[in-house]
Amino acid sequence: MQRRTFLTLAAWLVGTTSLTRATVIHNRVPWAPHPNSAPEMVRPGPWQFFTLDEARAMEAIVDRIIPPDPETPGGKIAGCAVFIDRQLKGPYGSNQGHYTLGPHTKGTQEQGPQSALTHAELYRNALAALDKHCKSTQAGKSFAELEAAAQDDVLRKLESGEVKFETVDAKGFFSALLKDVPEGFFADPIHGGNIDMVGWKMIGFPGIRYDYRDWVNRHNERYPHPPVSIAGRADWTPAKS
Amino acid sequence: MQDFSSVERGRYLATAADCGSCHTIPGSDHPLSGGRPIETPFGVLVAPNITPDRETGIGAWSDDEFDAAVRKGVRRDGKRLYPAMPFPYFARMTQEDVKDIRAYLSTIEPVHNPVAVNQLPFPLNQRMAMTVWDTLYFTPGEFREQPDKSKQWNRGAYLVEGPGHCGACHTPKTALGGDMPDKRLQGYTLQGWAAPDITSGQGPLADWSADDLAQYLKTGHNRFAAAAGLMGEVVELSTSKVSDDDAKAMATYLKGQSGPKPAADSAAESHVMAAGGAIYQDLCSACHKSDGSGVPNLIPDLAHAATVSTGDPTTVLRVILQGAQSVATDQEPTGPAMPAFGWQLNDAQVAAVATYVRNHWGKAPPVSEDEAKKERAQLDARTN
Amino acid sequence: MARKLPRKDVVIVGLGWTGSIMAYELADAGLDLIAIERGPWRNTATDYPPGYAADELRYRIRHELFLSPSQTTFTFRHKMSEAALPIRSWGAFMPPNGVGGGGVHWNAETWRFLPSDFVLKTHLTERYGVNFLPEDMTIQDWGVTYDELEPHYDKFEYLCGTSGQAGNIKGTIMDGGNPFEGPRARAYPNPPQDQPFGHALFGKAARDLGYKPFPQPSGNMSRPYQNPLGVRLGPCTYCGFCEWFGCGNYSKASPQTTVLPALVRKPNFTARDNSEVTRINVDSSGKRATGVTFVDAAGDEWEQPADLVVLSAYTIFNVQLLLLSGIGKAYDPAANTGVIGRNFTHQTTSDVVSFFDPAKFVFNPFIASGAIGMCIDEFNGDNFDHGPHGFVGGGYMGHVQTNGRPIETTPVPPGTPLWGAAWKKAVKENYQSAIKPGTGVHGSMYSYRDVYVDLDPAYKDRFNRPLVRITMDFHDNEIKQNKFLTDKFAEIFQAMGAKQVHKEYRKAPYDITKYQTTHLCGGAIMGSDPTTSALNRFLQSWDVPNLFVLGASAFPQNAGYNPTGTVAALAYWTADAIRSKYLKNPGQLINA
Q: What is the 3-state secondary structure (H, E, C) of C464-502?
A: CCEEEEEECCCCHHHHHHHHHHHHHHHHHHHHHCCCEEE
**No. of H helices and E strands in chain B?**
17, 6
Contacts of C51 (CB under 8 A, 6+ apart): A35, A38, A208, A230, B283, B339, B341, B343, B344, C248
- b/e map of C473-511 (b: 16 or more CB within 10 Å)? bbbebbbbbbbbbbebbbebbebbebebbbbbebeeebb
Residues A25-56: pLDDT tens digits?
Answer: 999 999 999 999 999 999 989 999 999 999 99
Average pLDDT over residues B362-383: 92
Please give, rounded to a whole number of angstroms, the shortest distance from the CA of C126 to a CA of chain A.
Answer: 37
Residues paired with residue C279 on neighbouring β-strands, in sequence order:
C293
The reply to whether residue B334 touches residue C44, judged by beta carbons under 8 angstroms, is no
Q: Which amino acid is at B230?
A: L
Residue A203 has a CB neighbour count (10 Å cut-off) of: 21
Nearest to C404 among A4, A30, A205 (CB): A205
pLDDT band, residue A229 (cuts 50/70/90): very high
Question: What is the sign of the dihedral through the CA atoms of C527, C533, C538 and C542?
Answer: positive
How close does chain B come to A21, measured CA to CA in Å? 19
CB neighbourhood size of C296 (10 A): 18
pLDDT, tens only, A89-135: 999 999 999 999 999 999 999 999 999 999 999 999 999 999 999 99
Helices and strands of chain A, counted as H and E runs: 7, 1
What pLDDT digit, counting tens, does each position of C562-584 carry? 999 999 999 999 999 999 999 99
Residues of C in contact with B327 (CB under 8 A): none
- Is pLDDT of A1 > 70? no
Could you give phi then psi for residue C119, rounded to 5 degrees? -125, 45
pLDDT at C390 over 80: yes
Minimal Cβ distance to A237: which of B281, B349, B379: B349
Q: Do C229 and B337 touch (CB under 8 A)?
A: no
C-beta atoms of A222 and C432 within 8 A:
yes
Average pLDDT rounded to a whole number, residues A57-85: 98
* Interface touch C301/A217, C-beta < 8 Å: no
HSE (CB half, 13 Å, CA atoms) of C221? 25
Confidence category of residue B259, pLDDT binned at 50, 70, 90:
confident
pLDDT of A6 > 80? The answer is no
Identity of the highest mean pLDDT range in A11-25, B130-144, C533-547? C533-547
List of chain C residues whose C-beta atoms are within 8 Å of the C-beta of residue B297: 226, 232
Do residue C270 and residue A114 have CB atoms under 8 angstroms apart? no
User: For residue B368, what is the nearest residue in chain A, using CA coordinates?
Assistant: A238
Mean pLDDT confidence for A160-172 = 95
Asked if C261 lies within 8 A of B341 by C-beta distance, the reply is: no
**Binning pLDDT at 50, 70 and 90, where does residue A240 land?**
confident
Q: Please, are residues B80 and B73 in contact by the beta-carbon 8 Å criterion? A: yes
Chain A residues touching B345 at Cβ < 8 A: 232, 236
Per DSSP (E only), the strands in C371-465 are 374-376, 395-399, 434-435, 441-443, 452-460
Query: Is there a contact between C237 and A212 if contact means CB atoms under 8 Å apart?
Result: yes
Residues in A closer than 8 angstroms to B278, CB to CB, are 233, 235-236
For residue A139, the distance in angstroms to the closest alpha carbon of chain C comes to 25
Q: What is the pLDDT of residue C464?
A: 92
Q: DSSP character for C306?
A: E
Cα–Cα distance measured from residue A18 to residue C97, given in angstroms and rounded to the nearest whole number: 14
- Is C373's pLDDT higher than 60? yes
Nearest CA-CA distance, residue B199 and chain C, Å: 30
**Testing the interface with B: which of A23, A40, A211 to mutate, by most B Cβ within 10 A?**
A211
pLDDT confidence of A147, banded at 50, 70, 90? Answer: very high
Q: Of B241, B283, B287, which to mutate for an interface test with C (greatest number of C Cβ within 10 Å)? A: B287
Measure the CA–CA gap between C592 and C587, rounded to whole angstroms.
13
What pLDDT score does C156 carry?
A: 98
Q: Residue C98 carries which side chain, given as an amino acid letter?
A: G
Mind listing the pLDDT tens digit for each residue in B284-300? 999 999 999 999 999 99
Minimum CA–CA partner of B342 in chain C: C51
With CB atoms and an 8 Å threshold, state whether C52 touches A204: no
Q: Which residue of A has its CA nearest to C68?
A: A97
CA distance C262 to chain B (A): 6
Closest-CA distance, A198 to chain C, in angstroms, reads 12
At residue B126 the predicted structure's pLDDT band, cuts being 50, 70 and 90, is low
Q: Which of residues 74-133 of A touch C (CB under 8 A)?
A: 91-92, 95-101, 103, 105, 107-114
Nearest residue in C to B290, CA atom: C237
Mean pLDDT, range B81-92, rounded to an integer: 90
Instruction: With beta carbons under 8 A apart, name residues in chain C contacting A97.
Output: 63, 68-70, 89
Q: What is the pLDDT of residue C518?
A: 96
Least confident of A107-111, A132-136, B63-67, B359-363: B359-363
Average pLDDT estimate for C86-91? 97
Whole-prediction pTM: 0.96
Report the residue of A99, A180, A188, A230 to disrupt the C interface, i.e. the one with the largest count of C CBs within 10 Å.
Answer: A99
Q: Does B291 touch chain C (CB under 8 A)?
A: no
* Predicted confidence (pLDDT) at residue C117 exceeds the cutoff of 90: yes
- Contact residues, chain C to chain B, C-beta under 8 Å: 43-46, 49-52, 224, 226, 229-235, 237, 239, 248-250, 261-262, 265
* pLDDT (0 to 100) of residue B209: 95
Chains in touch with A (3+ beta-carbon pairs under 8 Å) read B, C
Sort out which chain C residues have CB atoms less than 8 A from A154's CB and list them.
none
Catalytic residue (one of C78, C152, C502, C519): C519
Model confidence band, residue C317 (pLDDT cutoffs 50, 70, 90):
very high
In this prediction, residue A17 carries a pLDDT of 39
Check if A164 contacts B (Cβ < 8 Å).
no
Give bridge partners of residue C540 from the DSSP assignment: C548
Of B298, B325, B328, the CB nearest to C265: B328
Task: Report the candidate in A122, B251, B296 with the shortest Cα–Cα distance to residue C223.
Answer: B296
DSSP secondary structure letter of residue C7: P
Q: Which of A225, A236, A240, A241 would you mutate first to test chain B, the one with the most B CBs within 10 A? A: A236
Select from A100, B282, B111 the least CA-distant residue to C70. Answer: A100
Residue A2 pLDDT > 60, yes or no? no
pLDDT digits (tens, 9 = 90+) for C100-113: 999 999 999 999 99
Q: Which whole number is the average pLDDT over C277-283?
A: 97
Q: Is A26 on the interface with B (CB under 8 A)?
A: no
Between A102 and C327, name the one with better pLDDT: C327
Whole-number average pLDDT of chain B: 91
**Rounded-to-integer distance, Cα C366 and Cα A204, Å:** 10
CB contact under 8 A, C232 and B337: no
Active site residue C519: yes
Query: Residues C216, C368: contact at Cβ < 8 Å?
Result: no
Q: Which chain A positions have a beta carbon within 8 Å of B275's beta carbon?
A: 235-239
Rounded to a whole number of angstroms, the distance from the CA of C54 to the nearest CA of chain A is 5
* B339·C265 Cβ contact <8 A: no
Beta carbons of C276 and C14 less than 8 angstroms apart: no
What's the whole-number average pLDDT of chain A? 92
CA distance C315 to chain A (A): 20
Residue B145 predicted with pLDDT over 70:
yes
Q: Does A233 touch chain B (CB under 8 A)?
A: yes
| Listed range (B38-47, B102-111, C71-80, C118-127) with the worst mean pLDDT | B38-47
| Chain A residues with CB-CB distance to B343 below 8 A | 34-35, 38
Report the residue of chain C nearest B300, measured CA to CA: C234
Beta strands in C14-111 (DSSP E): 33-36, 74-77, 85-86
Distance from CA of C487 to the nearest CA of A (A): 25
Residues B28 and C425: their CA atoms lie apart, in Å, by 63
Chains that touch B (3 or more CB pairs under 8 A): A, C
A107 closest CB neighbour out of C45, C83, C196: C83
Cα angle C236-C238-C239, degrees, rounded to a multiple of 5? 110
Bond from prior residue into C509 cis (ω within 30 degrees of 0): yes
